[in-house]
Structure formats: structure tokens, C-alpha cells
Amino acid sequence: MTRRWVGLDFGTTNSAVAFVEGAGPPYLATFPGAGAGRGGARETFPSVLYFEAKSPSIAGSAAIERYLAAESKGRFIQSLKAYLPDRTFEGTAIGAQHYTLEKLIALIVRHMSELVEFSSWPAPRRIILGRPVHFSNPPDSGLDAFAAGRLLAAIRLVGFDEIVFEYEPVAAAYAYEERLRRNERILIGDFGGGTSDFTIIAVGPGVRQRGRRASDIIGTDGVAVAGDAFDRRIIRNLVCPRLGLGGEYLSPPSKFLPVPSWPYERLERWHHLSFLKSSRTLEMLERIRRTASTPERLEAFLLLIKNELGYQLHEAVQRTKFELSAGTESEFAFVSGSVAIRKKVTRADFERWIAGEIDAMAGCVDRLMAASGLAGIDIDRVFLTGGSSFVPAVRRIFVDRFGEQKVTGGEELTSVATGLALRAREQWPAAS
């Protein structure tokens, strides 16, 4: 039997699976669905779940398609990885059944397993599982251990016998190493939906030949700030004011008060939007709408909540972020029924909104360099991966410190999974 190894990158927004067989190169599992490329297949699996009344759960692209097509919306769940360090979130009720966070994550991975080759993996079922350097912001070793334990428990529910963690930026380094013909000391920047992680590591054919050493990993650090934080800034600055934030309402008998900000904070974390759909919250917003200075904006907010348009809003934000990465101006457009928001936005606006997040990322890189005792000249190459690595302000962090010629990228959404599979082959060289 040909030896085979598997790596799993369970992501906040998308997940990916990669395999290695024998001495061959790694290859990615493919999945059907929206956004598919040639042959109707895509290399990432949306990390989402959808529940309809009295029906089994659906995950990935199929969940998105069913949710968008449904006239009466069921329960759409996303960004579960972001909840891992949250001790207050144990799970949620869906219909009459309670689902723990671990069970929800396991459901996504189990749906993935039905579509790829590890569904019939022979014993012993072994896997290398990616994890961020830090799950929380600010970094907290206790929360990191708590979050990692929950993720481990979730993947065990899928049926794997042996699970080994690897830092996501280290895995990305192994994927980058495949292209090298000489040894390099590299800095990896891995930008996911919830975390940005960095590693300085020695890689290359000579390193593989002599065998890896613990000292090859010179340093790791990370911060729980990434693409989702950028999305929140777009929503806070561009969307929320057009849904009533910043307005006032009349509180009897004659006192004007600001519209409460906390519902909009939930909206900024678009995967929290479903929590606003409670009778108590809807009644409060309806009461405020009646005497609000901009009632039509509160009415739009209420419709957005009632119709559970969080995913559509997220897609509009993603489109604007992509356009501002490729160009200097975009028109944000979110139109769904009677809810319509259109506004021009420039890259300068966006970079002003995310300045705090960029500073946090840059500070983490500087902290890692200082801890390693290295200078910019000591880094041979900077490899950037993950969706937010396309954001010009993110790339500029590294260009300013290491020079344009040293900064490269590639396989931004799948390099971590590829590296995890390569790491699996090294972990269990005699495995079948």
C-alpha cells in the first residue's frame, strides 16, 4: 500500500485539506460548490454550517447555496474558530438540541471528510492539525491552551486516533520550502480571518537532508488581529452609520439619547448577527425607531436582522476589501430587498480605518525580530500567505522593513494545508 499522509487547516473563514503520497509532491483535496474553478472543484471549503427545521446539517458551499435560496431562513453559523478562546461561549441551541462548540466544529470537518479521501482513512488515523500561534488578543497562555484543547477535542470527535498540532506559519514555511534549491532563513507572515502569525525559520534542501532541529525555528509570535478585524472597521465606519448608529431617539418624556452602540458592535462581528434576532432586542430597536432622528435607517437595520442578511453583508465587505487591494477606490454596494447601502470609499479611507490593526501587526513583527536578535539583513526572504496578505498596507509592513525584493507570496489560501501534509510525512515516516 502506498504511504499517505494528511494535513488539515481548519480556518475561521475557509478550511483546506492536503495529502502526500509516498515520495510524491503534496496535493490538495477539492470540493464542489460556488467559487469552483476548472472541473467544478475548489481547493477550499467554507467553514460554515446551515440548519433547517427537521433536516440534517449542511456545510461548506452547499450550506451557503441552501441558505441564500431559502425563503424562510434557517440557522446559518460561521467563524466558529473565533469562539475557541471564549470561555463564555460553550455552544448554542438549534431547535430542541444543544450543540457544543466542539460538536459544531466536528460537524464541519465531518462534512469535509465525506467529500475527501480521509473519510475512509485506514487505522491508525493520524493527522497534522494547524493552529495559530496565539488564539486571543492580547496573547494569553491560559486562553491559548484552552482554545487548543477545544480544537483538539473537536477533531477527535471526527474519529482521528492521533493528532499533532503544528503552528500555521511553520506549516506555510514547509510549503514555501518546496520551491527552494538552497537553504534560506525566512520570515513567514500568515494572515487568516482571525489571527496573524509570524515565524522566523531556517528551511531548504540542506536542512531536510541533515534532519530538522528545534533550533531551526528561530522564533514565533502572533496577534489575534487579521482579516475579520479589517471587515469590522469597514462595517463600523461605512455600514453602521447608515443603519442608525450615531443618531438619537426621544426617550420619554423629553430626553434625547444616542442610539445604543452595542447592537452595532454585534453587527461588526457579522457571525454574531444571529444573536440579535431575539424578541427582546427587536422590540427595543423597534421602540427606538419610532422616535429616532433617522427612523428609515433603524428600519433598514431591523430588516437586516430579521432577514438574517449577515452573509450577504459579509460578501459586500469582502468585495470592497478586494477592490481596495487591487485599486485605490471602490463603491461599496449592499442591496437586499428594501435595504440598500451604496457609498464610494478610497484606499486612503480604508487604511485610516485599519491603522490600529496595522500597528498591532507591525508591532508583533518588530517584537519577533527583537526577540530573535536578528536584523533585517539577516532575513533572506519574507513569505506572505493568507487572504489579508493582499492588502497593500499589510504588505507595506514588510517592504518597509526588509525591502521589496525580499517579499514574496503564493498559494495564499492553501499553503498552510500543503505544509501540514509535508509535516505529517516527516512526523510519521513509516506510516501507511
What does the pLDDT look like over 378-394, one tens digit per residue?
Answer: 999 999 999 899 999 99
What cell numbers appear for 321 in the block? Answer: 476589501
Up-side HSE of residue 261: CA atoms within 13 Å toward CB?
A: 5
Are 256 and 290 within 8 A, CB to CB? no
First-last CA distance in the chain: 7
The string of pLDDT tens digits covering residues 185-222 is 999 999 988 899 999 999 999 999 999 999 999 999 99
Rounded CA separation 19/424 (Å): 9
Nearest residue to 391 via CA among 244, 204, 193: 193
Rounded CA separation 240/273 (Å): 13
Identify the pLDDT of residue 387: 87
pLDDT > 70 fraction of the chain, expressed in percent and rounded: 95
Can you tell me the mean pLDDT for 308-337? 91
SS3 235: helix
Alpha helices in 291-391 (DSSP H): 295-306, 310-326, 347-353, 355-372
In 79-195, the DSSP E strands lie at: 91-94, 97-100, 126-131, 162-167, 184-191
pLDDT band at 38 (very low <50, low <70, confident <90, very high): very low
**pLDDT score of 118 more than 80:** no
User: Average per-residue pLDDT in the chain?
Assistant: 91
What cell numbers appear for 33 in the block? Answer: 460548490
CA 100 to chain centre: 20
Identify the pLDDT of residue 36: 46
- β partners of residue 197: 190, 222
SS3 174: helix
Nearest residue to 166 via CA among 201, 207, 139: 201
Are 49 and 71 within 8 A, CB to CB? no
Are 164 and 129 within 8 A, CB to CB? yes
Rounded CA separation 346/330 (Å): 6
Identify the pLDDT of residue 383: 96
Rounded CA separation 31/16 (Å): 9
Are 381 and 186 within 8 A, CB to CB? yes
Tally of helices (H runs) and strands (E runs) in the chain: 14, 22
In 60-206, the DSSP E strands lie at: 75-78, 91-94, 97-100, 126-131, 162-167, 184-191, 196-203
- β partners of residue 21: 4
The string of pLDDT tens digits covering residues 357-414 is 999 999 999 999 999 999 999 999 999 999 899 999 999 999 999 999 999 998 888 9
The domain locations on the chain are 4-184+412-427, 229-352
**Which superfamily, per CATH, for 4-184+412-427?**
ATPase, nucleotide binding domain (3.30.420.40)
Can you tell me the mean pLDDT for 118-122? 66
Identify the pLDDT of residue 408: 95
The string of pLDDT tens digits covering residues 73-89 is 788 888 899 899 999 98
Backbone angles phi, psi at 258, to 5 degrees: -70, 145
CA 5 to chain centre: 24
Rounded CA separation 400/415 (Å): 24
Identify the pLDDT of residue 311: 83
**pLDDT score of 275 more than 80:** no
Rounded CA separation 186/127 (Å): 26
